Amino acid sequence: MKKLLLTITLFTSVIGFAQHGLDKEVSDIEAKVIEWRRDFHQNPELSNREFKTAEKIAAHLKSLGMDVQTGIAHTGVVGILKGDKPGKVLALRADIDGLPVPERGDLPFKSVAKGEFRGEEVPVMHACGHDTHIAILMGVAEIMSKNKNKIKGTIKFIFQPAEEGAPPGEEGGAKLMVKEGVLKNPDVDAIFGLHIGSAQPVGTIGYKSGGAMAAVNSFEINVKGKQTHGSMPWGGIDPIMASVKIIDGLQTLISREMPLTEEGIVLSIGKITSGVRSNIIPESAQIIGTLRTLDEGMQADIHKRMKEMVPAIAKAYRAEATIDIDEGYPITFNDPDLTAQMLPSLEEAAGKEHVINMKAITGAEDFSFFQKEIPGLYFFLGGKSPGKSEAFPHHTPDFFIDESGMILGVKAFIQLSLDYLNE
Q: Other CB atoms closer than 10 Å to residue 369's CB: what's the count? A: 21
Closest of 146, 68, 148, 205 to residue 421, by C-alpha: 148
Catalytic residue among 317, 329, 378, 420: 329
Task: Look up 329 and say whether it is catalytic.
Answer: yes
Query: Residue 268 in contact with residue 290, Cβ under 8 Å?
Result: yes
Q: How far apart are CA 348 and CA 351, in angstroms?
A: 5
Assess whether 378 carries a catalytic annotation. no
Known catalytic residues are 329, 403
